[in-house]
Amino acid sequence: MHDILHSIRRIFVPIRKEGFPFIAIAFVLGVVLGFLWEPLFWFLMLITAWIVYFFRDPARTTPIREGLVVSPADGRISMITTVMPPPETGLGGAPLLRISVFMNVFDCHVNRAPVAGRITRIVYTPGLFLNAELDKASDDNERNALVIDTGRQTIGVVQIAGLIARRIVGWVQEGQAMATGERFGLIRFGSRVDVFLPLGTRVLVGVGQTAIAGETVLADLDPAGGEYTAYVTA
């Protein structure tokens, strides 16, 4: 039975409710404008299909072990560098390791917690909508910062709106406890997520690598490493 349910979930991927209005608008426009000119109908049906695909929310198998940092987003590792953390995070005045994951318009945009812990701070900062791949987007673009206390370390996660993105959606609150891989928000429609980690953290990915939210291990906070298990986030 478990195998059957897993197969069904792989075929019929759930769609986030935040996408329903956009799907409905594109579909209705396609039907209405299709009466005026048939090619518009097919063009808008393609747009509708893309919106459905964009708001997909598949289950993920999350590796579990204290110290593991998993990717908060689907996309490409665009930067691994040492920078000062955004001031709104309250992460201090010393440089931190930053791993950036860039999401294009075809990636799943549901964001997931990179570590387990309690959210101690959420700060939304209005800003510009520059290309999210640019380094200065970290300072100039609209963004939403979360600070997660694991009990041993404090981790920063920043959602950054991009050139096309116009809305950061969050589903969590300050004081809330989160499991690794748990969903905490999404960004519409193309953007970036930065993870800020202590210096000395062992990085396990490279620039240009494709990451999967809730599955790809970005880094290990535990210098000793070790084995880990995994669980499926439905």
Query: pLDDT per residue over 105-157, tens digit each?
Result: 889 889 999 999 999 999 998 866 555 555 655 666 788 999 999 999 999 99
Provide the CATH number for the domain around residue 205.
2.70.70
Residue 2 is assigned to a structural domain of this protein? no
The tokens of 198 are what? 């202590």
Measured at the CA of 190, the angle between CA 207 and CA 231, to 5 degrees, comes to 65
pLDDT at 169 over 90: no
Task: Name the catalytic one among 71, 100, 138, 191.
Answer: 191
The H or E element spanning position 81 is strand 75-83
Residue 72 is assigned to a structural domain of this protein? yes
Least confident of 8-17, 74-83, 87-96, 199-208: 8-17
pLDDT at 213 over 60: yes
Asked whether residue 141 falls in the same domain as residue 200, the answer is: yes
Asked whether residue 43 falls in the same domain as residue 133, the answer is: no
* Residues facing 187 on adjacent strands: 168
Residue 1 is assigned to a structural domain of this protein? no
| Residue environment code for 26-59, b if the CB has 16+ CB neighbours within 10 A, otherwise e | bbebbeeebeeeeeebeebeebbeebbebbebbe
What does the pLDDT average to over 212-219? Answer: 96
Give catalytic status of residue 191 as yes or no.
Answer: yes
The tokens of 14 are what? 């759930």
Kindly report, residue by residue over 7-49, the tens digit of the pLDDT: 545 556 788 888 888 899 999 999 998 888 888 999 999 999 9
* Owning domain of residue 159: 60-233
Asked whether residue 39 falls in the same domain as residue 83, the answer is: no
What percentage of the chain reaches a pLDDT higher than 70?
82
Q: What's the mean per-residue pLDDT of the chain?
A: 85
Residue 132 is assigned to a structural domain of this protein? yes
Q: What domain count does the chain have?
A: 2
Reported confidence tier of residue 93, pLDDT bands at 50, 70, 90? confident
Asked whether residue 108 falls in the same domain as residue 195, the answer is: yes
Question: Are the beta carbons of 80 and 207 closer than 8 angstroms?
Answer: yes
pLDDT at 96 over 90: yes
Residue 165 is assigned to a structural domain of this protein? yes
Asked whether residue 127 falls in the same domain as residue 30, the answer is: no
Asked whether residue 112 falls in the same domain as residue 33, the answer is: no
